[in-house]
């Protein structure tokens, strides 16, 4: 991406999907666009607090002047169900996205076509969400603005995120993966692949990566100190118990009617 925007032009470009906080190259490698986050931080610093909303008894919001909530019309093709949801200025939400109340999409996020964001779910700042992703109720997709070169959380196409799941600190979830309810993934999570008998870990150079079509569930492993052994203590981890098959596809399918198809 050669052209770089600033200020309101950047926010407009983000909302149109012309600029992204992270991009995937032809080899499947994701790289953060540090300049995008640097400019967003500059907008935050230079923007005063204001009262948003003409009806102060209904919309008692105080936030940075540059970041009001977005307004949607039929032309956008986004299904925004009543009940307290909000999409912040500078986020891209594609046609065919379904937003169930209450949910929130923060600045710099990218949500692609056919995705469902369910009730009480969060898509954090600069998070990148692919096509036909299901973000279930109360799931948390973490955001990041600082440091500017840090990769945001990325969910590729056709990922299923179960309820009360948390994905944070630049974790990359590859296409078709399934995260069972209650799974928590961070850059420091150890992911044990029971199918291929291997350990997957993140590093400073590359955060944790969930393989394509992996089915991940919450797990634990014994803590190693003598006290932990005496007390029977365990440390949280995550387990790949299988790779996606027809049975998994049926269990995670989202009805076409819910997507508005």
Alpha-carbon distance 126 to 46, whole Å? 19
For the chain, the C-alpha Rg in angstroms (whole number) is 19
DSSP string, 174-199: -TT-EE-TT-EE-TT--EEETTTTEE
Q: Which spans in the chain are helix H?
A: 7-16, 34-46, 226-231, 246-252, 256-259
User: What is the pLDDT, as a whole number, of residue 258?
Assistant: 63
Confidence of residue 255 (pLDDT cuts 50, 70, 90): low
Joined together, the tokens standing for residue 26 give 């032809």
pLDDT at 58: 63
| Structure letter (DSSP) for residue 69 | B
Whether 72 has a pLDDT exceeding 90, the answer reads yes
Helical (H) or strand (E) element with 160: strand 160-161
CA distance 28 to 22: 12
95-139 pLDDT, tens per residue?
999 999 999 999 999 999 999 999 999 999 999 999 999 999 999
What are residue 129's DSSP bridge partners? 111, 155
Superfamily of domain 1-53+62-157 in CATH is Hexapeptide repeat proteins (2.160.10.10)
């Amino acid at each position: 991406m050669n052209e770089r925007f600033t200020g309101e032009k950047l926010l407009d470009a983000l909302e149109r999907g012309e600029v992204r906080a992270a991009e995937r190259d032809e080899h499947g490698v994701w790289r953060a666009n540090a300049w995008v986050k640097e400019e967003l931080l500059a907008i935050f610093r230079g923007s005063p607090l204001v009262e948003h909303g003409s009806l102060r008894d209904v919309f008692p919001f105080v936030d940075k002047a540059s970041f009001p909530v977005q307004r949607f019309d039929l032309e956008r093709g986004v299904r925004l169900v009543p009940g307290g949801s909000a999409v912040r200025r500078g986020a891209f939400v594609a046609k065919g996205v379904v937003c169930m109340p209450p949910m929130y999409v923060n600045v710099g996020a990218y949500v692609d076509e056919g995705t469902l964001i369910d009730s009480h779910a969060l898509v954090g700042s600069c998070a990148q969400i692919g096509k036909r992703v299901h973000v279930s109720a109360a799931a948390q997709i973490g955001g990041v603005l600082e440091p500017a070169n840090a990769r945001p959380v990325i969910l590729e196409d056709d990922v299923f995120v179960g309820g009360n799941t948390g994905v944070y600190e630049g974790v990359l979830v590859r296409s078709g993966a399934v995260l069972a309810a209650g799974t928590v993934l961070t850059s420091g999570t150890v992911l044990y692949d029971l199918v291929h008998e291997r350990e997957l870990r993140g590093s400073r150079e590359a955060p944790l990566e969930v393989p394509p079509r992996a089915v991940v569930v919450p797990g634990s492993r014994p803590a190693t100190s003598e006290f932990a052994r005496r007390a029977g203590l365990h440390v949280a981890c995550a387990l790949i118990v299988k790779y996606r098959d027809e049975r998994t596809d049926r269990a995670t399918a989202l009805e076409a009617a819910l997507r508005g198809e």
